[in-house]
Amino acid sequence: MCGIVGYLDLCGNPCDRALLSAMNDQMIHRGPDDEGYYFSDEVGFGFRRLSIIDVGGGHQPLANEDATVWLLFNGEIYNYKELRGELVDRGHTFKTETDSEVIVHLYEEYGMDFLTKLRGMFAIAIWDEVRRMLVLARDLFGIKPLYYTAGSGFLAFASEIKSLLSIPEVSRDIDRESFWNYLTFQYVPEPGTMFQDVKKLPPAHFLVCQDGRWEVKRYDQLAFAPLDMPVNYFVQGTLDVLRTSVRAHMNSDVPRGAFLSSGVDSSAIVALLRELEEVQTFTVGFEGAGGQSELEFAKETARVLGTQHRDTVVSAKTYWDALPRLVYHQDEPVADPSAIALYFVAELASQYVTVVLSGEGADEIFGGYTIYREPLSLRVFDYIPLGVRRTLGGFAELLPYGMKGRGFLLRGSTPLEERFFGNANLFSERDKQEFVRIHPEVERLRRSTDITKVYYDRAANYDPVTKMQFLDLHTWLPGDILMKADKMTMANSLELRVPFLDKEVFRFAAQIPFDYRLSNGTTKNVLREAVRSILPSEVAERKKLGFPVPLRKWLREEFYKPVRELIGGCPLDDLFDKEYVLQMLEEHKSGVRDHARKVWAIVVFVLWYEAFVGNTRVFVPQAPESVKIRRERMYDAVGESHGI
């Protein structure tokens, strides 16, 4: 795992070496073990390394035999040994034992088709000296990030936006359309970012730049294809493919561990790991979480599975004090309170291991979110003409907020494509029009439905439940779940691996009919049945909490005063009505309405603004303290084994 940066001068001028070094320095936390550079006339590559495989021989940038193809690679390729064997048979010569070098020779052998052969997570940059061509690529699910910016006469890329902001020509101006969409989705949908000049390369896409021109293309896609097979076929097959994936994700030359929450996803990963080796597990809890705390559930699961378990408890003060720095690490605002929770458990784990496995992706692939059951509960509305349903919706709008049945009527009278935007739907279009400052460009802003329409169109032939999963796989998963997973673990120089987000796991799970996924009164039923043989029944059936943060309580108590001061004092009157937001905070404090997630979205945005635009909070790039602690522990362990 590492950080990659690059700069291509489209006019053929030599790359500025000092600039590239400054870009690379912004990501020292992603790779404290090593750095490397490659320069060739108009192109420059920079690399920060966190050593995982072939610790002694994995230096990058890395080239083929005659130095005509150069590579930067962030991620892990889990089928690299099989691919290496095939390439050796075809006459390729290898200098290292790394998965990185396999990518170089795959490109030589297959051209751009090499991407479909990779099983893993990756952000890749290739410079083809002969063709004078730059290639950028991102994995199928978007596990690893890759940003780029194209200015007057240059194209640059990096694992993190803060590296691109080192380029003087890159503006820090806010993209108002991204802000508009952030308020609904709680993250910025791809390919946009909160910066006008910076874009994300979407998952399963590559960018090619040659002769001063560049374009982005899709190389693969996710698709559901249900099979008419007995449920037991899927139950056994799910366990088999997960077991294979976990084994593949164990490949490393450094200590491994796993995050362990209360739910079936992480517990299944830990149980499968435990079949193969001793396991260290880690979890986090929060003061004031009460019955929603993960700690006791995780401890009990760890006891049953026999892991070496550690946890940490975070107070409201610790959370608030760390928040500005962690928003800075995110690069752009993500208003998910659990993102910060993930940082603290990663901080704990990084003191003991370099790699952790986690359960991200299980809900999107196997149908785990409770909201996926909504189409089943609203089936009665399918028999009502759309015009009548619209009338019912208008009537429901007039009912008092909180009145029993109001929400049911509103949801049932609204087509799926207009009510489901993913697992977060904070501000409606009407809400935003009330407090976002109107500018001429607002008239051209895309509505939330414009963002999701492209995915609903591609999923037109799917059932409603599968449509929801398909949308989440392309929006919520890369925009929120995987973004926070990468940024919060890499802030601690910790590599996170996600065995559920494996192309072979998805290929099998995509064959499961939706009525098998949601049955027996629960979600991801096939997965739960599949792991019953390796988990206690109470764990397999347990409701997921997901490192819950007591945000509602903290906003009424510990966070109330600092949040009021933060929003009241921010210089963003030209962007939104601060009094509107402060009124939401007062209503939340008094218990009139639950505005916790909406207020939090503004809090995170303001902190992001202070770090990246207003420059009122300045953070110096540095390797985390946990890296030093981890190295000391590893040295002590080696010393003990040799009698030192």
The residues that are catalytic are 2
Q: Which are the contacts of 383, defined by CB distance < 8 A and separation ≥ 6?
A: none
For residue 433, what are the β-bridge partners? none
**Helix, strand, or coil here: 93?**
coil
- Alpha-helix runs per DSSP H in 442-513: 448-458, 464-474, 476, 482-490, 503-509
Residue type, 70: W
**Helix, strand, or coil here: 209?**
strand
Residue type, 113: D
Q: Which are the contacts of 312, defined by CB distance < 8 A and separation ≥ 6?
A: 282, 283, 284, 285, 344, 345, 347, 348
Sheet with 120-128, strands from edge to edge, namely 62-63, 69-77, 120-128, 133-138, 205-210, 213-218
Contact 362, 500 (CB under 8 A): yes
Contact 84, 60 (CB under 8 A): no
CA distance 608 to 366: 34
Q: Which are the contacts of 182, defined by CB distance < 8 A and separation ≥ 6?
A: 188, 194, 333, 335, 601, 605
**Helix, strand, or coil here: 341?**
helix
Contact 215, 207 (CB under 8 A): yes
Burial letters 496-516, b for 16+ CB under 10 A, else e = bbbbbbbbebbebbbbbbbeb
CA distance 556 to 567: 15
CA distance 70 to 125: 8
Map tokens 């008419």 to a residue: 228
CA distance 459 to 470: 7
CA distance 298 to 291: 13
The token pair that represents 53 in the structure block: 């495989």
Burial letters 295-320, b for 16+ CB under 10 A, else e = bebbbebbeebebebbbbebebeebb
Could you count the other beta carbons within 10 Å of the beta carbon of residue 251? Answer: 18
Backbone angles phi, psi at 49, to 5 degrees: -115, 135
The token pair that represents 8 in the structure block: 């291509």
HSE-CB of 267 using CA atoms within 13 angstroms: 33
Contact 484, 342 (CB under 8 A): yes
User: How far does CA 42 lie from the centroid of its chain?
Assistant: 32
Task: Name the percent of the chain in helix, strand, coil, to the closest 5.
Answer: 45, 15, 35
CA distance 299 to 283: 9
Torsion of Cα atoms, 146 then 147 then 152 then 153, to 10°: -10
CA distance 247 to 239: 12
**Helix, strand, or coil here: 169?**
coil
Helix (H) or strand (E) holding 270, with range, is: helix 264-274
Could you count the other beta carbons within 10 Å of the beta carbon of residue 258? Answer: 29
Map tokens 């006339």 to a residue: 41
